[in-house]
Structure 1
Amino acid sequence: MMRRSIHMLGRVVRRFLIFLVLLALAAAGAAYWWLHAPLTLHAGGTDGLPLELEIEPGTTPRGVAAAAVKAGVQTDARLLYYWFRLSGQDRQIKAGNYEIPTGTTPYQLLEKLARGESTLRAVTVVEGWTVKQMRAALAKADSLKQDTAALSNEELMRQLGREGVAAEGRFFPDTYAYAKGSSDMDLLKRAMHAMDRRLEAAWSQREADTPLKSADQALILASIVEKETGSASDRGEIAGVFTNRLRSGMLLQTDPTVIYGMGEKFDGNLRKRDLQTDTPWNTYTRAGLPPTPIALPGKAALLAAVQPANTKALYFVSKGDGSSHFSATLDEHNRAVNRYQRGQRSAKGEPE
């Protein structure tokens, strides 16, 4: 009797164990199906559109799950949270702004959040732009938080840790990617540090006999070269002309510095009286380099400033096609001006 009871109990236990195994397999199958089934997204009241999910810094895994559901992921926030925890990647989820496309599964959602694949925008800062033009472009950049809009250039540089340094020329022209909702201050820091690195690299490659006394002077000269260069092939020669003038003590006599010094007064036409009106940036009335850069120079202009072409030229004039004609003597230059700019005021490098 006892043996029979034990046998029956054993069968019950086996059946129960089988039931548990089948239940576990069913649960595992359901979990696998849920993990790899596309989530239903309800973005802004519309099904089928990409969903924008913002994860603030410091958000807990439970908070991330809740934020996903609040943003429009049609599932139980607890399921997402348990998945985050069981995966072991819950602490790897990164803050940022994410675009969740239709067809995303819970598995893919976590992978995106853990890798930090936030939605990126981009803004391009163009070589030769002034700081004013750069800041105007940032003000129009899509989804870039405007934290510096009310700051003057002086206040901006103070907050960037460069109090007393002119903002002009201090930001490297490039294309910068950023996450939606990023601060323009963070982007400006990146651009400033990029210019720091580029300028340091260029200055370390300077010619031994350069008349430039510091990296800051190289930045100023590079900004002038950037504004004067119409054809990239002329850049080194243009830098050579200005280097020769600095060595010999000649006035630089470059129109872009005059225009920069005129500020809002410049109406698109540069007149003889403008060349004769003194400002700190008027290189027709003042010797040497101006006190600050006049634009944002790119890498090529920085290198040209410290490694100018080996030339005897002291003058250049635009040919009208973007390129320039270079001359070693004033007589030759005047003939070039007569040839290329007959009836016009002479030119880059020498006043009328």
Structure 2
Amino acid sequence: MIWRNIASNFLTLAIVLLLALAGAIAWGKHQFSGPGPSEVAQCVQIAPGASLNAVSQQLAAQGAVSSAYIFRAGADYLDKSRDLKFGSYLVEPNASMNDIVNVITAGGPSTCGTQVILLVGVRGNNVLLRDMNPETGAFEEMARFDPASGDEPEAIAAAQQKPDARMRITVAEGVTSWQIAEALKQVDFLSGDIDDVPAEGSLAPDTYAVEKGAGRVELLAEMAARQSVILEQAWEERPFGLPYETPEEALIMASIVEKETGLAQERAQVASVFVNRLEEGMRLQTDPTVIYGVTEGRSVLNRGLRRSELNQRTAYNTYQIDGLPPTPIANPGREAIRAALNPADTDFLFFVADGSGGHAFARTLDEHNANVARWREIEAQRGQETNTPVQDGG
């Protein structure tokens, strides 16, 4: 009888323990899969070679998870404890532990944390330091400087030393190859010498993620490879009958379109003007090509063209030569290339600035002269001296 009672009590205890264990497991699963404790976005940084234990403790300290132990147990159960990927990852508010495990083991580009960005622009360059505000989930500018000045802020210098800092190069459309090469020389998070400036037009304006110490020559090669793919694809998809014999000629036209207008909606119309002029046997008469002949793509003119420069015959003076100049005059972006190879169907032969940031297009010289007169009136009202040629293509 005594043994029967002992067995009965043991069985009861075992059942209670099993029920408690089942309840604990169910609670743990709910904690692992349910909404997390953080009411704001979190930037989770995974250091190279970090262990799951260290990461779980870090997440608990940040308030991203309620229990380091449950986080580790869940990651082990999913067989992802060895799949941590180095980087900085944005975790949404109230993300579950399961969501966080998936984010930090999937890999891919970092989505938050410190960014040091070289902005390569037509009129100058800037190095920008950005960091994510966890409360808003948005990147905020922390510091900025002109690398040509050499006065690097301490915040940017310190950021470059952080193991999780991400470096980016952003190249604007219309920048010349010389400007890009010079800009890459101005930042010390890249390495290696640039002996030769790449061919004009051969580099794709885009954003490039780089590791600290990445080679400048290798980066230029990546830019060239991207541009080659963009041009090849656009060339293959071009309509029949365009006045280009080679992809290089289309690239030259794209660079002119890029420099003539900053309005996306105008690119195809501007391209149509120059295509129509080529088909009519007219000279292109576009200022940006003349400017390139003066500056060789190594500076910004910052003034109007002189009459002597417009009258001087050079390989890039499209007021004096027939057809296209010998090379591109800048690095055109994808959309300018697309416009050059897919011009609008118009019979426009002229255009001139209209005072709104865009252009007035014309079919005849009389229409164009009227548009030029209106533009000269606008310039006069603004107190600007005009050098706009009467038959200016742009």
TM tier, shorter chain?
A: 0.5 to 0.7
Q: For 1:22, which of 19, 36, 46 is the aligned residue? A: 19
Greater Cα shift, 188-197 or 211-220: 188-197
Contact 2:120 2:169 in 1 (8 A): no
Classify 1:348/1:142 alpha carbon distance in 2 versus 1 (closer, same or farther; 3 Å): farther
Please show how residues 174-213 of structure 1 align to structure 2 within 5 Å. Answer: 195-213=227-245
Classify 1:113/1:73 alpha carbon distance in 2 versus 1 (closer, same or farther; 3 Å): same
Contact 1:205 1:307 in 2 (8 A): no
Report the equivalent of 1:153: 180
Classify 1:54/1:327 alpha carbon distance in 2 versus 1 (closer, same or farther; 3 Å): same
Q: For 1:227, which of 259, 267, 291 is the aligned residue? A: 259
Q: Return the offset for 1:240.
A: 3.2
Q: Match of 2:77, as an amino acid?
A: L
Classify 1:328/1:70 alpha carbon distance in 2 versus 1 (closer, same or farther; 3 Å): same
Which consecutive residues of structure 1, in runs of 5 or more, have no partner in the other structure? 42-47, 124-129
Of Structure 1 and Structure 2, the greater strand share is in 2
Distance 1:259 1:152 in 2: 15
Distance 1:134 1:90 in 2: 49
Q: Return the offset for 1:165.
A: 3.4
Matched residue of 2:44: which SS? strand
Q: Return the offset for 1:228.
A: 2.2
Please show how residues 13-162 of structure 1 align to structure 2 within 5 Å. Answer: 13-32=10-29, 34-35=31-32, 50-56=41-47, 59-69=50-60, 77-91=68-82, 93-100=84-91, 103-114=94-105, 119=111, 132-133=121-122, 136=125, 139-140=127-128, 142-143=130-131, 145-146=166-167, 153-154=180-181
Classify 1:327/1:15 alpha carbon distance in 2 versus 1 (closer, same or farther; 3 Å): closer
Asked if 1:289 is matched to 2:314, the reply is: no
Distance 2:315 2:61 in 1: 58
Q: Match of 2:73, as an amino acid?
A: Y
Q: Return the offset for 1:221.
A: 0.8
Contact 1:221 1:289 in 2 (8 A): no
Classify 1:22/1:142 alpha carbon distance in 2 versus 1 (closer, same or farther; 3 Å): same
Classify 1:265/1:202 alpha carbon distance in 2 versus 1 (closer, same or farther; 3 Å): closer
Q: Match of 1:10, as an amino acid?
A: A
Distance 2:390 2:13 in 1: 95
Which consecutive residues of structure 2, in runs of 5 or more, have no partner in the other structure? 132-164, 171-177, 186-190, 381-385
Matched residue of 2:352: which SS? strand
Q: For 2:299, which of 250, 261, 264 is the aligned residue? A: 264
Q: For 2:308, which of 269, 273, 284 is the aligned residue? A: 273
Q: Return the offset for 1:254.
A: 0.9
Distance 1:286 1:224 in 2: 15
Matched residue of 1:325: which SS? strand
CA root-mean-square deviation: 5.0
Work out the number of aligned pairs and report it. 325
**Which protein has the larger Cα radius of gyration, Structure 1 or Structure 2?**
1
Classify 1:74/1:31 alpha carbon distance in 2 versus 1 (closer, same or farther; 3 Å): closer
Distance 2:374 2:97 in 1: 72
Bigger relative contact order (CA 8 A; separation at least 6): 1
For normalisation by structure 1, the TM-score amounts to 0.66
Classify 1:70/1:25 alpha carbon distance in 2 versus 1 (closer, same or farther; 3 Å): closer
Contact 2:253 2:328 in 1 (8 A): no
